[in-house]
Each structure stands twice: as C-alpha cells, then as structure tokens.
Amino acid sequence: MRATLPDADSADLARIPGVDSVEIRGDSVLVHANDSDAVARYLYSHTAAHDLEITSRNLEDAFIALTSDPRRGADATDTADTLPTTSGTGPTDPSSAVTTSGAKR
C-alpha cells in the first residue's frame, strides 16, 4: 500500500502488526503488508496518513516470494543449485539432436 505521511519513521511503521516491509520516498510511504486492512485501519486512526492506495503485489513480488530461499534470506533468488545444468557438449544421444531449423536429425 502507498500513503502520504510527512515525517514518517520507518522503524515505527515497521512495528505495526501485519507490516512486512517499509520504504519511505519523501512524503510517500510504501508498505508491504500481510494484512493490508489492519495496517490501513492503523494508519488512518493512529497517524496523519492520507491518500491511501491499496494494491496487490505484482508479478515480480510473486516470483521473488516463490523462488527465494528462506534459509538464505528473502533476497536470495539463486536457483542454480536446483536447476539441471548442461555440459555444453550437446546431447548424448545423436538421434535426439535438433538442427538449427528445428527438425530432428
């Protein structure tokens, strides 16, 4: 959610129940929350916040949430240890090789 909140304190906002993360950009506050209704009620009743916009997370947020490794932190999206690798030498079975035109040999 986004709100206008002059002189916002990110530490105070992060302590609101339901808040996952807080970004402050001038007088604008961007809050990621797992309970946006509770956070919106808090902002309206306990702060001078106004112009509140609640939006759902975007595709990038969903991708990061699905691919992050909680053992390595929320920003760890390296999946190299789970994806198969190739040696770069081509297929081991020549009959399954595909030519550059897409036709099978």
Give per-residue pLDDT as tens, 34-83: 888 999 999 999 999 999 999 876 777 677 767 876 665 544 444 444 44
Residue 92 lies in a domain: no
What's the pLDDT score for residue 78? 47
Which two tokens mark 84? 């198969």
- What is the distance between the alpha carbons of residues 35 and 29, in angstroms, rounded to a whole number? 16
The reported pTM is 0.53
Look at residue 27 and tell me if it is in a domain.
Answer: yes
Q: Is residue 73 part of a domain?
A: no
Is pLDDT at 103 greater than 50 in this prediction?
yes
- Report yes or no: 30 and 79 within 8 Å, Cβ to Cβ: no
Segment 1-9 shows an average pLDDT of 94
- The total domain count for the chain is 1
Residue 94 maps to a domain: no
Rounded CA gap, 91 and 98, in Å? 9
User: Residue 54: which domain range?
Assistant: 2-67
Which residues are paired to 37 by β-bridges?
Answer: none
What is the helix (H) or strand (E) element at residue 29, kind and residue range?
A: strand 28-33
